Amino acid sequence: MGVFFSDGIVANRIQALQMDPQGDTPLEITLENVESALYQLYFDPDMEHKNLAQKWLTHAQASTQAWQFCWALLSPDKLPEVQFFGASTLHTKISRHWSDLPTTEHENLRMQLLSNILHFSSGPKMVLTRLCVALASMALNLIPQAWSHPVADIVQAFQPHKPAHEGAEASPDPHVHCLALLELLVVLPEEFQSSRLTQARRAQLREALAGEWASVCPMLCQLLQSQDSSTLVKEKVLRCLSSWVGLDVPLGESHELVQDCFAVLSDAELFETAVETIVTAISQPDCHRYVEALLGLLPLVLGLHEQLKKAAQDGDMETSHGICRVCVAMGETHSRVLLEQVEHWQEYLALVNMILFCTGIPGYYPVNETTSSLTLTFWYTLQDDILSFEEEKQTVYLQVYRPVYFQLVEVLLHKSHYPSEEEFASWSSDDKEQFRIYRVDISDTLMYVYEMLGSELLSNLYDRLGRQLMDPQQASAWQDIEALLFGFQSIAETIDVNYSDVIPGLIGLIPRINISNVMLADTVMYTIGSLAEWLSDHPVMLGSMLPMVLQGLSKPELSVSSVSTLKRICRECRPDLGPYAQNILTVSQDVLVKEIHKSSQCMWLMQALGFLLSALPAEEILGSLTSLISPHVQHLDSLAQQEPDAANKQSIIHILGMLSSLFTTLDINRQTDSFDGAEPSPPQVAPNPVIVVLQQVFTLIQTILNKWLHDSEVVEAVCGVFDKSVRTLLHDFGPMVAELSEMLGQIYSTFPQSSALDLACQLVHIFAGEEQHVSAIKRLMEVLTAATLDIFQQGPREHPDIAESFMYLHAQILKRKPDWYLSDQLDVKTLFFCGIMSLKFPEAPTVKAAGLFFTQLLPRCKDGCLSDVLQQSGKILTEAILQAVGGGSPRSLTEHFADVLLSLNRYHPVLLNQWLTETLETPGFPSAHVTPEQKHNFSQQLLREQTNKRHVKELVKEFSLLCRGLQGSGHSEF
């Protein structure tokens, strides 16, 4: 502990560290002060002191004195933490400040590093590793001109059983000496991969290092084969190989060493590292060029089959997982190459069957095994490669591999089996979720396999399901039936099965299923849902399916599957649901009143009923709609009379959400669009049923708003009802425009909220062009604008959502009714400044909306009052954009600023030229990182581009990088 100081001295040094390094009395960078700061960093409990020490030490590392004090910190009498900092400082200096060191010092530095690596070869490990990284960084700086063969020289210097040359002391223990050398060889490629290098320098170094492999490989082979090598040495050899293959070392030059790695798989201690090494080696992109090497490795992979089977039998998940990784790496990475080796077709088929064994490994995923999921992508790859061959070749391969894929289907269905209900109940929620995702992956695989196996696959599934359900000799577990339905559903979800001759039979079998538990019932529901399009072409079968769905609707445990299935049927089959409509409405109303389903499922159910009501005869819709929503409107009325509280609030939002969901899909105009062959209905004279209902509940909604006006969630839910109605009804919403506009103005004037602006934006989009609605909407715009301008004058920073919606609203006005901007009622100059303020927000949606506002406004500023506003304020806009691009806003927002600059240049190039010149001539603006010449180049290139949006975005992005000091890419145009 002689290197440290008493608490009093440390306290004094802490005070010194708290001084500003830029101040008059900065703490001197000495060995003593560095050690004191390290003591503070590692042992002081005060986080503020630690942070101060960290900051000062970083400053010290960057100093020229660091070249000297780093060696003193490596002294044998120092604590390991101090030695580690010394080694880290060496690496920092070599990697970041190499140019500070005179060339004459290079040899001395190399010898000191080698000597210290030898000294620390027996530990501490963290110090040894950092010293090795430092030497690796030095080698990267000197290769190839100043140090042509660094690896060969290092190997020579560290020969395990010989003393090192050039005066360096050999370790008394050859074993640790060898480990130190291997550590150095491991970190050299890793340091190369992590270093920031230009593309040309990286290519030069990669080539030079790959050329050094000849010095490394024989030694690694010798160590791995030697009986005298310890487990630790062999592990380092494996890590070394993994590290070097990342340098694109050819498999042809390393395959003998890779072969030796297979022998190590029998060693339990080295198994995991050996697997990682083999997988890394055979997964390199260019391995396919070394066919002979791959064929030499293939028997070694096949030779793992017995070890794999034993591991599966013993429940050894780690071993089976590792061997599976090796098999998949070989089979998937080199599928096409190995398929093309026709004379070795049996060996590759054996590998495919080995992977099939891994897919079907015993146990439930993820509780008993985690291996099978690794194989799924292999089957995609193999199928793609087979189907990519020309037809004649493809036919031959299909004869061999179609039977394998039928086996695969069997295996996948078996792996999708649920465990018993009791066992499944004992699983953790995380295991259940992983199993659900695993089944989704199996489903995707089955869908993909259908492309190869075609209709024969569906016939196969149907025959098996028929035997399970109809053969009295078959003692079927519910899991068998569920898995077969799961297979059907997987295929029917994405493949057009309308022309399959087995679907009618399947529809006939489904009602025969004895639904004994929730998992089976869920799959039955999802299977019916997947056949909704088929049912729309065969409506006669609806009678046997709908009762099952409606029965499931009343069971809370089937909530998600039954509601989603009913929604799909109502969407796809609505022209044919007339005979069943009343029954569907009755059951649905019953489950809604009894609150059987959670809120999200209630929303889905209302969407389903919207599809259903849309298909009813026009004269029946209003009555059915009123009957459906009356209980909920009555409940809403009751809630409106009560004092506000949290429970009431959630109920109100829930009911308003159900109305929104219903009005999203209730579109009677859809009837004539979607009913093929239907007689065109006469023009609608009676008001739209949705409008009738909205007019009836309008007073009730106003009552709710009066009590909840300051609650943004309730206001958003109210606006949602009208927003969904407007989007669905479009011009049919006309009768409500006036009163809704008046209500929106009152809401927003009292308590401004973005949802009201969003709804107003929809009204402008649809009705601003209709003469009878212009005055009401224009008055609304004036009210909303006046209230929002007050917010901007007070400071809008806390309301990015309002700023965003306000910008979108005025962009829509400029698009639909630009002549309103000529009105005396609209303060265009203030709006212009609101746009500039919105551009300065850090939130991307707000900046995007402001950008859209300006790209709509600028083309219309060529004359009149808009031209005057631009003349007066355009320079401020340009300055704000340049400031944002120069670092004032997040870099991800530059494309939105580029859009505004392009619009300025396209419509006002002379003014933009003037404003760019005036703003960019300010020293240090928009950043001290850019020179006057770079600013001039940017300005000239920008002014030359008036049409190519992509090019402008690239220019602005590159200028932004320059301003932030981040260019360093070698592609700067300025």
Concatenating the DSSP letter of every residue in 229-276 gives --HHHHHHHHHHHHHHHTTT--HHHHHHHHHHHHHHTT-TTTHHHHHH
- In percent, how much of the chain has pLDDT > 90? 67
The answer on pLDDT for 82 being more than 70 is yes
Instruction: Specify the pLDDT at position 172.
Output: 53
Average pLDDT over residues 50-76: 88
Closest residue by Cα to residue 860 from 826, 894, 895, 896? 826
The answer to whether 755 and 715 are in contact (CB under 8 A) is yes
Closest residue by Cα to residue 402 from 419, 379, 423, 378? 379
The answer to whether 616 and 628 are in contact (CB under 8 A) is no
Closest residue by Cα to residue 660 from 684, 629, 695? 629
User: How far is the C-alpha of 588 from the C-alpha of 612, rounded, in Å?
Assistant: 11
Buried b (16+ CB within 10 A) or exposed e, 834-843: bbbbbbbbee
Average pLDDT over residues 771-790: 94
Exposed, middle or buried by CB within 10 Å (0-12, 13-18, 19+), for 390?
exposed
Average pLDDT over residues 316-334: 95
14-18, 336-340, 493-497, 669-673, range with the lowest pLDDT: 14-18
Instruction: Specify the pLDDT at position 685.
Output: 56
Q: Which letter does DSSP use for residue 65 in this model?
A: T
Residue 290 amino acid letter: Y
Instruction: Specify the pLDDT at position 10.
Output: 45
The answer to whether 632 and 592 are in contact (CB under 8 A) is yes
Compute CA distances 658 → 633, 636, 663, 770, whole Å: 11, 12, 9, 30
Average pLDDT over residues 186-195: 88
- For the stretch 553-572, pLDDT in tens is 999 999 999 999 999 999 99
Instruction: Specify the pLDDT at position 143.
Output: 86
Closest residue by Cα to residue 616 from 625, 607, 627? 625
Closest residue by Cα to residue 799 from 745, 856, 851, 837? 837
Q: What is the largest CA-CA distance in the chain?
A: 105
- For the stretch 597-631, pLDDT in tens is 999 999 999 999 999 999 999 899 999 999 999 99
Average pLDDT over residues 761-769: 94
Tokens 């010290």 found at: 60
User: How far is the C-alpha of 482 from the C-alpha of 563, rounded, in Å?
Assistant: 19
User: How far is the C-alpha of 618 from the C-alpha of 621, rounded, in Å?
Assistant: 5
Please, which contacts does 575-582 make with residues 24 or more away whose CB atoms are closer than 8 Å?
A: 575/536, 575/615, 575/674, 575/675, 575/678, 576/536, 576/539, 576/542, 577/542, 577/612, 577/615, 578/615, 578/616, 578/617, 580/542, 580/543, 580/546, 581/612, 581/615, 581/616, 581/624
- For the stretch 652-688, pLDDT in tens is 999 999 999 999 999 988 654 444 444 444 445 578 8
User: How far is the C-alpha of 526 from the C-alpha of 610, rounded, in Å?
Assistant: 21
User: How far is the C-alpha of 586 from the C-alpha of 680, rounded, in Å?
Assistant: 30
Res. 159 pLDDT band, cuts 50 70 90: low
The answer to whether 684 and 618 are in contact (CB under 8 A) is yes
- For the stretch 367-380, pLDDT in tens is 999 999 999 999 99
Intra-chain end-to-end CA distance of the chain, in Å: 56
Closest residue by Cα to residue 814 from 864, 870, 787, 853? 853
Instruction: Specify the pLDDT at position 151.
Output: 84
The answer on pLDDT for 28 being more than 70 is yes
The answer to whether 349 and 298 are in contact (CB under 8 A) is no
Helix (H, G, I), strand (E, B) or coil at 555: coil
DSSP 349-373: HHHHHHHHHHHT-SS-TTTT-SSGG
Residue 662 amino acid letter: L
User: How far is the C-alpha of 182 from the C-alpha of 207, rounded, in Å?
Assistant: 21
The average confidence (pLDDT) of the chain is: 89
Residue 185 amino acid letter: L
Residue 41 amino acid letter: L
The answer to whether 476 and 468 are in contact (CB under 8 A) is yes
Sign of the C-alpha dihedral, residues 60, 64, 67, 73?
negative
Instruction: Specify the pLDDT at position 680.
Output: 43
CA 768-774-775 angle, 5° bins: 150
The answer on pLDDT for 19 being more than 70 is no
Sign of the C-alpha dihedral, residues 825, 826, 827, 829?
negative
Encoded tokens for 901: 């600059």
Average pLDDT over residues 931-941: 93
Tokens 């008493």 found at: 6
Average pLDDT over residues 494-523: 88
User: How far is the C-alpha of 613 from the C-alpha of 602, rounded, in Å?
Assistant: 16
Closest residue by Cα to residue 896 from 847, 942, 943? 847
Closest residue by Cα to residue 215 from 148, 165, 280, 166? 148
Alpha helices in 709-839 (DSSP H): 712-729, 737-750, 754-767, 771-794, 800-816, 828-839
Instruction: Specify the pLDDT at position 6.
Output: 38
Displacement of CA 609 from its chain's centroid (Å): 35
Instruction: Specify the pLDDT at position 669.
Output: 81
Average pLDDT over residues 234-249: 91
Q: Which residues are CB-neighbours of 413 under 8 A, at least 6 positions away?
A: 483, 484, 486, 487
The answer on pLDDT for 317 being more than 50 is yes
Closest residue by Cα to residue 601 from 560, 649, 635? 560
Instruction: Specify the pLDDT at position 679.
Output: 44
User: How far is the C-alpha of 240 from the C-alpha of 223, rounded, in Å?
Assistant: 12
Instruction: Specify the pLDDT at position 672.
Output: 46
Closest residue by Cα to residue 885 from 857, 854, 851? 851
Which helix (H) or strand (E) segment holds residue 93: the answer is: helix 80-96
Q: Which residues are CB-neighbours of 83 under 8 A, at least 6 positions away?
A: 73, 74, 75, 120, 124, 127
CA 489-528-579 angle, 5° bins: 160
DSSP 120-151: GGGS-HHHHHHHHHHHHHHHHHHTTTT-S-HH
The answer to whether 886 and 922 are in contact (CB under 8 A) is no
The answer on pLDDT for 365 being more than 80 is yes
Encoded tokens for 112: 């000191």
Closest residue by Cα to residue 83 from 127, 53, 113, 42? 127
229-233, 352-356, 357-361, 875-879, range with the lowest pLDDT: 229-233
The answer to whether 780 and 825 are in contact (CB under 8 A) is no
Closest residue by Cα to residue 847 from 792, 893, 898, 797? 893
- Count the helix, strand and coil residues of the chain and give each as a percent rounded to the nearest 5: 75, 0, 25
Encoded tokens for 571: 């969407």
The answer on pLDDT for 759 being more than 50 is yes
Q: Which letter does DSSP use for residue 290 in this model?
A: -
Torsion angle (degrees, nearest 10) of CA 283, 289, 295, 297: -40
Average pLDDT over residues 342-348: 92
Q: Which letter does DSSP use for residue 105 in this model?
A: G
Exposed, middle or buried by CB within 10 Å (0-12, 13-18, 19+), for 173?
exposed
Torsion angle (degrees, nearest 10) of CA 413, 419, 425, 430: -50
The answer to whether 409 and 453 are in contact (CB under 8 A) is yes
Compute CA distances 670 → 575, 610, 613, whole Å: 10, 11, 11
Q: What is the number of H-type helices and E-type strands within the chain? A: 48, 0
